[in-house]
A = this chain, B = another copy of it.
Amino acid sequence: MPSTRSSRPRLADVAARAGVSTATASLVLRGRPGPGRRARQAVLDASHELGYRADRSASLLARRRTQLLGVSMDVRSPFHAELIEEIHAAADGLGYDVVVSPLTRTHDERRVVETLLDSRCEALLLLAPGLSAAQLTDLAQDRPVVAVGRPVTAPGVDVVRVADDRGVALAVEHLVALGHRDIAFVDGPSGTISTLRRSGYRRAVRRLVGPDAVHVVPGGATEDKGAAAVSLLRGRPVSAAIAFNDRCALGVLDGLRRDGRSVPGDISLVGYDDTPLARLGTIDLTSVSQTPGEMGAAAVRAAVERLEGARSHDVEVLLEPVLVVRGSTGPPPNRTMP
């Protein structure tokens, strides 16, 4: 009996209209081999005429595999937004679907993970997870877990991140190539990431300029910390600065301008993260990109490899950052380009 309710058509309705069983209809609609030309066409027509769409809950429930990847994200982060796009696209290409659950005031990471698991996803991609290594390992007991963008050592958990030290080194190389020799680093907040970036800076400057050229000033992750760092930049002749991230760089930029120093005329400036902020016409900041495209693809790949049994050992995917050159860097003053 075709459903008389005004609700959406059921698979049974399509099958009835096509004059076949629901089994055949199901096979056809998912492009599985089996049904012959006649049946196939009939089902397709019927489905189209009825405007049929499979009920996802029912499919998921009946299917062994769900082919669903659960992604947690900080809904406020533009970087996560970019990652989501890329993850979506990459998953699509591999026949997986994505369910995202945003971290909000009312839904902390634990709750988000639960929501994700409740929707039967087969793997978890956690963007910059705040969970402890132990919690992550625990989660990874029952399904693949990929930590994206956070350097964490948790057995069983795959990690996809960008080489922070290499990113800062790129910035140094760029500035040195422009002729700079007095390059300062405005440090970030204490933590793994700052440490990696700072040591990347140290090593690159030592190598390319000399051991005495290292000049790290305290800063932070926000504009005000960057602005505050500007006064510390006066102690030594500095023709360029690399900031911990774009927000910090923005503070530095603003502080410099208030001081009457022009960027990049008097001083060149490099940020980190390549946020939309950096791309704004009025800011136009040279910045190090974490290549969200690569990260998203790598994260999906890591999860799918595990799911399809192609790998059972942990992996850490270390991606190469890319320097995006914009208007905030140029040759140092009192010098001409070679």
**CB contact list, A102-147 vs B, under 8 A:** 102, 104-107, 114, 117-120, 142
- Set of chain B residues within 8 Å of A84, measured between Cβ atoms: 75, 102, 104
- Set of chain B residues within 8 Å of A227, measured between Cβ atoms: 281-282
> How far is the CB of A289 from the nearest CB of chain B, in Å?
16
A211 at the interface (CB under 8 A from B): no
| Residue from A81, A247, A253 whose CB has the most chain B CB atoms within 10 Å | A81
What is the total number of copies of this protein in its complex?
2
Specify which of B61, B89, B107 is in contact with A88 (CB 8 Å cutoff): B107
A305 at the interface (CB under 8 A from B): no
Specify which of B85, B104, B224, B282 is in contact with A85 (CB 8 Å cutoff): B104
Cα distance A56–B254 when bound, in Å?
50
- Taking a contact as CB atoms under 8 Å apart, the answer to whether B223 and A281 are in contact is yes
- Set of chain B residues within 8 Å of A82, measured between Cβ atoms: 76
- Set of chain B residues within 8 Å of A60, measured between Cβ atoms: 57
- Taking a contact as CB atoms under 8 Å apart, the answer to whether A85 and B78 are in contact is no
Specify which of B8, B57, B118 is in contact with A61 (CB 8 Å cutoff): B57
Cα distance A247–B276 when bound, in Å?
12
A251 at the interface (CB under 8 A from B): yes
- Taking a contact as CB atoms under 8 Å apart, the answer to whether A106 and B92 are in contact is yes
A337 at the interface (CB under 8 A from B): no
- Closest residue of chain B to A80 (Cβ to Cβ) is B75
Cα distance A227–B280 when bound, in Å?
12
- Taking a contact as CB atoms under 8 Å apart, the answer to whether A88 and B106 are in contact is yes
> How far is the CB of A328 from the nearest CB of chain B, in Å?
14
Cα distance A142–B61 when bound, in Å?
24
> How far is the CB of A247 from the nearest CB of chain B, in Å?
8
Query: What are 18 A-B residue pairs whose CB atoms fall within 8 Å in the complex?
Result: A8-B142, A53-B118, A56-B118, A56-B119, A57-B60, A58-B61, A61-B61, A76-B82, A85-B102, A88-B104, A100-B100, A100-B101, A222-B281, A223-B280, A247-B280, A250-B280, A253-B282, A257-B257
